[in-house]
Amino acid sequence: MGALPAQPENSAPGRSLLDPFGRAITYLRVSVTDRCDFRCVYCMSEDMAFLPKRDLLTLEELDRICSVFVGRGVRKLRITGGEPLVRRDIMTLFRSLSRHLDSGALDELTVTTNGSQLARYAKDLAACGVRRINVSLDTLDEDKFRSITRWGELPKVLQGIDAAQAAGLSIKINAVALKDVNEDELERLLEWSHGRGMDLTLIEVMPLGEIDGQRIDQFLPLSAVRARLAARYTLEDLDYRTGGPARYVRVKETGGRLGFITPMTHNFCESCNRVRLTCTGQLFMCLGQEDAADLRTPVRNAESNDQLERAIVDAIARKPKGHDFVIDRRHARPAVGRHMSVTGG
């Protein structure tokens, strides 16, 4: 597949996207597929029904929408999934979007991955200007890894991390804290990550989508995790930000950074600067709300970006102040019905 066609740039003073609360939208997370080669127990059911390919945005359409957002002041693009690196010809999109890094319109192009395809793509990602990636990894125990991911192979992920570091990519490990699953090895994950020069971010499980089992049984409040870690390590609060919701501390004993993403116990919505585009062209202004705007129709209806820009501006005008995440203890149902793999991690 050849290079994607360049789309017209439209950055100009006063064209930044502001939501009703005065927050500038500078961060777009883009899901390129709902498919994944894992079936993580907190993310999806084992027997998932994936979207028909005709419903998915083409790589050209993804590039066009991303370029309009960049023209309206978005400075950071994160490519997500599903597992984004299983999307066919995905490097074509990375190569095309890298032009915004070259022009200075974009500060960062990055990706969140489960690591299964990194051994294959790490060098290509670095060549496209990707400098920093997130790898989702919840355990260093091979049997437990297989239990959590159902289909995953830990050695393959570790080889991918080796390849990414060899390619010069900076890595942050994302670990979902799961009660009675990996809570006993969070210290090990921390020391392993920091020992390899990688940041670690811990994430509370979120009530998205129907899964096998109950999230109430998985939920582990990070306030309790932080208190436990503080009894063993010296945690120093940092002002460091990556553009996302994590809040960081420096672990004095290891010298590394540790982040906490707490959508349940402390959501940090007041500083939200991001929106999410699904692989079908739905723009979610908030991960924890069902309201979405259709961008696929305007991008397919006209060669001009006028309709697309209007749809984006109208959508940002509806961005809520915050989400309503709560794990429903009475009815054991998710707060939001769609799976994380549909919205993008």
Binding site feature residues = 29, 36, 40, 42-43, 78, 82, 112, 136, 172, 206, 269, 272, 274-276, 286
H or E element, residue 237: strand 235-237
Both structure tokens of 244: 């996302």
Both structure tokens of 273: 């600067």
Whether the bond into 82 is cis, omega within 30 of 0 = yes
Both structure tokens of 163: 């390849």
Question: How many other C-beta atoms lie within 10 A of the C-beta of residue 201?
Answer: 22
Helices (H) and strands (E) in the chain, counts: 10, 12
DSSP-assigned letter for residue 79: E
Q: How far is CA 182 from the centre of its chain?
A: 21
Measuring CA to CA, which residue among 24, 7, 128 is closest to residue 67?
7
Both structure tokens of 181: 């699953």
Binding site feature residues for [4Fe-4S] cluster = 36, 40, 43, 269, 272, 286
Burial of 192 (0-12, 13-18, 19+ CB in 10 A): middle
- What are the backbone dihedrals phi and psi of residue 135, each rounded to the nearest 5 degrees, phi first? -120, 125
Binding site feature residues for S-adenosyl-L-methionine = 42, 82, 136, 206
Crossing angle of the two packed helices 154-166 and 118-127, in degrees rounded to 10: 20
Q: How far apart are the first and last CA of the chain?
A: 27
Binding site feature residues for GTP = 29, 78, 112, 172, 274-276
Residues 177, 205: contact at Cβ < 8 Å? yes
Secondary structure class of 127 (helix, strand, coil)? helix
How many angstroms separate the CA atoms of 275 and 343, rounded?
A: 10
Both structure tokens of 216: 């109430």
